[in-house]
Amino acid sequence: MNSARRALVSGASVSGLTTAYWLTRYGFDVTVVEVSSQLRPGGHALDVRGPGLEVAERMGIAETLRDRATNLAGIAMVDASGRETFRSTQSTLTGGQLDSPDIEIMRDDLCRALHEAAGDSVEYIFGDRITSLVQDESGVDVTFTEAGSRRFELVIGADGVGSGVRRIAFGPDERFLRVFGDMHIAVFSTPNFLGLDRWEVIYHQDEPYLGALVMGLREDAPAKVYLGFSDPAGTDYDLGDVDGQKRLMAERVADGGWVIPQLVNHMMDAGDFHFYRLSQVRMDSWSRGRVVLVGDAGYAVSAGTGQATSVAMLGAYVLAGELATHRDDVVGGMNVYENELRDYVTRNQDIALEYDSKPRTPSGRESSETDPGGLPDYGSLTLPFSLKDYPALVRP
């Protein structure tokens, strides 16, 4: 009996690369297909905490992540003229409490660490995507845009909220995508013209609500910008038209004060621009035959509670472990994976919906006498999860 299994992972994402790492360790032959021509640059600052931090420890990369962490020193809030109105060296908007054991790291730095950990045993197909999936009882025939057709014993969709695998195997986005909140957000890099060093600055204004957060990790390195506006009615935009998304953002924040005009000018030239509205993916099942979803593709939580990355890493760990445990019945392994994780994911998603419903302040969260900035404590939202041990599954 052949114990090896050929697995295709769609998406060199946090969940995709974590899944690839563990499946390779368990003796699977793993291929990762990624639509970008390389590991995707840019992206959010991400938080690894709770169960996600334990997964990183078991992968042996926790210290690497700490070495590459943002190591922010604090945050300031300013008014339209740039006058500072609030300052904290205890917490930040993107990472929460600075004295916690959690790790805040830029998305591309995290993905590079995961890619390095996965090693040379993983095959990568960059600059390509899946166009069709045809299943039978023993495998899946996969057709790619560029690489022709190949057969795998299972396919794992780790390609994010707008998952192409989900669309092909499960149905259109509107069946599963739940948009919530009213914030539309763009993330991109700019020259660090504010000279920020391990520091964040945030500005907002009401009527209409719009704002910006600028994060600088080093004075001599580009800064990361979060630019956003509120539209309770929602805004239509073409997911594939980046130039159109930039024009939309520029129009909606045109009346912004502080340095928003300069940020908009840099945004128009940004090569790592990403535009989105807060959303969740809610599905009755994360698998269909030999196709299974992991991370945001199957159960996006929300960027608003600081748990999405840890949920994705935990999901990848559990999925790979159950597939290896049930390597002679991968469909059964997918079912156990879902049973193990469903309640944890649902509770995280419900917390995100409740958290988003709180009154908005300059930081987007409730203020208090001790924290007039309303800065978040993401650690208080972290749910425990008891990880199974799968060490006996590791192949030499």
pLDDT digits (tens, 9 = 90+) for 141-188: 999 999 999 999 999 999 999 999 999 999 999 999 998 878 889 999
Q: Are residues 303 and 159 in the same domain?
A: yes
Per-residue pLDDT tens over the stretch 164-174: 999 999 999 99
Residue 64 sits in a domain whose CATH number is 3.50.50.60
CA 163 – CA 159 distance, rounded (Å): 5
Which one of 279, 302, 324 terminates a domain? 279
pLDDT at 108 over 80: yes
Q: Within a domain: residue 1?
A: no
pLDDT at 391 over 80: no
Q: Are residues 185 and 255 in the same domain?
A: yes
Q: Are residues 234 and 326 in the same domain?
A: no
> Would you call 384 helix, strand, or coil by DSSP?
coil
Q: Within a domain: residue 393?
A: no
| C-beta of residue 359 within 8 angstroms of C-beta of residue 287 | no
Domain that holds residue 162: 6-176+282-386
Which one of 220, 247, 279 terminates a domain? 279
Q: Are residues 121 and 182 in the same domain?
A: no
* Residue found by looking up tokens 């390597």 in the block: 327
Q: Of 57-71, 270-284, 287-301, 338-352, where does mean pLDDT reach its minimum?
A: 270-284
Q: Are residues 154 and 60 in the same domain?
A: yes
Q: Within a domain: residue 396?
A: no
The domain total for the chain is 2
CA 95 – CA 69 distance, rounded (Å): 11
Q: Are residues 258 and 353 in the same domain?
A: no
Q: Are residues 27 and 121 in the same domain?
A: yes
Q: Within a domain: residue 199?
A: yes
CA 11 – CA 165 distance, rounded (Å): 10
Name the nearest CA neighbour of 171 among 279, 332, 284: 284
Q: Within a domain: residue 321?
A: yes
Q: Are residues 127 and 70 in the same domain?
A: yes
135 burial type by CB count under 10 A (0-12 exposed, 13-18 middle, 19+ buried): middle
* Residue that wins the pLDDT comparison between 181 and 15: 15
How sure is the predictor about 195, in pLDDT bands with cuts at 50, 70 and 90?
Answer: very high
Q: Are residues 291 and 225 in the same domain?
A: no
* Residue found by looking up tokens 């700490």 in the block: 66
How sure is the predictor about 358, in pLDDT bands with cuts at 50, 70 and 90?
Answer: low
pLDDT at 334 over 90: yes
Q: Are residues 195 and 163 in the same domain?
A: no
Q: Within a domain: residue 154?
A: yes
How sure is the predictor about 57, in pLDDT bands with cuts at 50, 70 and 90?
Answer: very high
Query: What pLDDT is attached to residue 359?
Result: 54
Q: Are residues 96 and 137 in the same domain?
A: yes
> Would you call 268 helix, strand, or coil by DSSP?
coil
Structure-token pair, residue 77: 């809030």
Q: Are residues 28 and 158 in the same domain?
A: yes
- pTM of the entire structure? 0.93
What are the phi and psi torsion angles at 105 (to 5°)?
-145, 145
- Strands 74-78 and 199-205, bridge-based pairing: parallel
CA 347 – CA 50 distance, rounded (Å): 15
Which one of 251, 279, 307 terminates a domain? 279
